[in-house]
Structure 1
Amino acid sequence: MRRELSLAEIFQLGYYWETKILLTAVRLDVFSALGGKESSVAEVAQSIGADQRALGLLLNALVAMKVLVKTGDRFANTDVAKTHLVRSSQSYVGHLLLLHDAEWNNWGKLDETVRTGRSPVTRHVFETDPELGANVLSVLDRIGQQSGPGLAKRLELAGAKTLLDLGGGAGTNAIAFCTHYPQLRAVVFDLPQTLKVAERAVKEAGLEGRITLHAGDFNADSLGGPYDVVLMSDILHYQGPEANAALVKKCFAHLTAGGRLIIKDRFLDEAGTGPAWVTAFAVHIMVNTEKGRCYT
């Protein structure tokens, strides 16, 4: 039998304080100001242009949250903060947290969305802030590089010669697949601003001769081909059922005889109550996209 939440746990779920403390620290670049050294409140305040008293409260809270450590009156990053929250680190994920912060106001309108069934946004933050979008794509690319090789191996594409990576972002999957399957050539299809990130990634991988970048709107423009494999990765949840049905039909029309359409997304179970993270993600998508949803 599943254990019910205690009252204390319900209160904990209702507290957003720690979330906003962390996001604010990332936005103020507190962790980069600390870097690999110990600093006083005054030193950090001078570095980021903050009020000492207010910053001191924020830093103390971050210590209690186990993101910083404090020795006497001096603060320092924990190892995990130093690795992932300092901008100069190769493993910096702050841009992804800044995306969450940029979407904060939309979450404040969740009650309105639930009452009306309509999202408060008409344009994704990637459209309104292209620089943030490019930075987030770079972080997602780095994270995806950890899972891409395993995905390529599981899909068994040894017989395929051509792949369309639809909405391919930074080209993470195309790079992983072409690296694993030397006979494969790929097309990454995405918006022009997104392909600027993909261009750098493909060049760094040394795959310019096997991966082509195609700029366009996959709902409106020709997809080229035909292809032995079409990969739709994390597209469905950004669109409504009608657009997705039309896109899936379009993808099938661009396959070779016996070709494969592979769909990778965040799916709910039949009851709609799991996996737990996806149920919350479904609400996130409802609030932050015009017509998106998670599907079963």
Structure 2
Amino acid sequence: MTDVPVGARVLRGRGWAARLIASRKFQKWAAGFLPTRGIVRREGEALFDLLSGFCQSQILMALVQFDIPQMLLARPRMVDELAQLCDVPPARMVILMRAAEALALVKQKRGGRFVLARRGAALVGVPGLADMIKHHDILYRDLADSVAFFRGETKTELADFWPYVFGGEMDADVAKTYSDLMARSQELVAEDTLRALDFSKATTLLDVGGGSGAFLEKVGRAYPKLDLMLFDLPKVAPSAAPRFAAAGMMARAQIAEGSFVHDPIPTGADAISLVRVLYDHSDTMVAALLAKCHAALADDGLLYISEPMSGGDAPERAGDVYFALYTLAMQTGKARSIAEISALCTDAGFEVIATPKPLRSFVTRCLLARKLNVNKH
């Protein structure tokens, strides 16, 4: 035993523990032994949650598709009324509502009327969440054959749904779908980004891939003296003008059209933001984009990055389960850790100066970097 390296002994020990836990005889004993009974129950419940996860997501999808949360927000309703409004057989609506209650989305009051539970009310209140849930029907189809998906054999629909990632022309209807979905889901991202990062040292902020200007509008309201610039595809960028006009920001806002895949980044800003942009693209494309941002900024210019990220050495559910699979289905990008993004920024000539702890990692995580002053370094 002394000739076996310590690391190998640890791995052998871990393998032994796994084999013991996998033993049906051990499981049966542990389920009846008082000190381990709770662990067995919790692990069993966790495994069953994984097993039933698809059913849970379909319950959520059905509720949103039928618009039941909005119906219950208006007033409590009986099952028969919901069945009639949704054109669902009453017996099946009972099953749907009982499942929704089990998931803590609704509650049944005395007399049989259903109301929204706290979680269901939050579902209604989160901007863009219902739209994103409806959009998931594409992802579900892409994941239908999980073995083929992970082998890379699936021709995914998501790859066609987001054609902008290739930097090419976009149909006007596709561009509107993209812009609307991004704008509605941008509010929470903007809120958490503004809580995490300070924009007070910038005088002009250029939002690259800024869509219809939802993020810039939020930053502009928080920093009234900040000048705003937006850069996005020709079919997308003009949609920001009505938003800026309605917010009274046209006097301090500029809109530039182009593709950061093919065109240089506009100059004139002392800060650039990349909000939910990097994870859409490959490492090669991200490196090229960061190099363009570096070229567009003067020395000491600031780079703000905000997007969902992988947990890195400590994988976590939002980044390493949901966003990792979503970007894999897009076939162009990936969820990166804060360390990976920091390394890409450093390679591009930036100094990372802040990586604040995320408030809600399932919404976004942020990084602030500064272009190194070549005269000082």
| Same topology, TM > 0.5 | yes
Aligned counterparts of 2:248 and 2:193: Cα–Cα separation in 1: 17
Q: Deviations over 1:194-221 (max 9, x none)?
A: 4466444423432121122233322113
User: Could you tell me which of 171, 179, 182 is aligned with 2:221?
Assistant: 179
What is aligned with 1:274? Answer: 315
Q: Is 2:183–2:214's contact at 8 Å kept on the other side of the alignment?
A: no
Aligned counterparts of 2:184 and 2:127: Cα–Cα separation in 1: 8
Q: Secondary structure at the match of 2:219?
A: helix
What is aligned with 2:96? Answer: 58
Pair 81,194 (structure 1): closer, same or farther in 2 beyond 3 Å: farther
Q: Deviations over 1:264-295 (max 9, x none)?
A: 33333553x43442111343234321221122
Structure 1: state its 5+ residue gaps.
Answer: none
Q: Secondary structure at the match of 1:188?
A: strand
Q: Deviations over 1:40-96 (max 9, x none)?
A: 2232222222222222211121122221222334323335534643xxx79573112
**Quick check: 1:155 aligned with 2:198?**
yes
**Quick check: 1:96 aligned with 2:115?**
no
Q: Which one has the largest radius of gyration?
A: 2
User: Could you tell me which of 76, 91, 95 is aligned with 2:115?
Assistant: 76
Structure 1 stretch 8-17 or stretch 91-100: which is displaced more? 91-100
What is aligned with 1:287? Answer: 328
Q: TM-score, normalised by structure 2?
A: 0.66
The structure carrying a bigger helix percent of its residues is: 2
Pair 46,59 (structure 1): closer, same or farther in 2 beyond 3 Å: same
Pair 54,134 (structure 1): closer, same or farther in 2 beyond 3 Å: farther
Q: Is 1:161–1:185's contact at 8 Å kept on the other side of the alignment?
A: yes
One-letter code of the match for 1:30?
A: I
**Quick check: 1:10 aligned with 2:30?**
no
Aligned counterparts of 1:60 and 1:198: Cα–Cα separation in 2: 43
Q: Secondary structure at the match of 1:39?
A: coil
Aligned counterparts of 2:58 and 2:126: Cα–Cα separation in 1: 24
Aligned counterparts of 2:312 and 2:182: Cα–Cα separation in 1: 31
Q: 1:119: Cα distance to partner?
A: 6.1
One-letter code of the match for 1:140?
A: S
Structure 2: state its 5+ residue gaps.
Answer: 1-38, 164-169, 341-377
Q: Is 1:229–1:260's contact at 8 Å kept on the other side of the alignment?
A: yes
Q: Give the count of matched residue pairs.
A: 288
Matches within 5 A, 1:195-210: 195=237, 198-210=240-252
One-letter code of the match for 1:139?
A: R
**Quick check: 1:21 aligned with 2:59?**
yes
Q: TM-score, normalised by structure 1?
A: 0.82
Pair 167,92 (structure 1): closer, same or farther in 2 beyond 3 Å: closer
What is aligned with 1:111? Answer: 147
Pair 36,266 (structure 1): closer, same or farther in 2 beyond 3 Å: closer
Aligned counterparts of 2:68 and 2:199: Cα–Cα separation in 1: 45
**Quick check: 1:242 aligned with 2:279?**
no
Q: Secondary structure at the match of 1:50?
A: coil
Aligned counterparts of 2:295 and 2:153: Cα–Cα separation in 1: 33
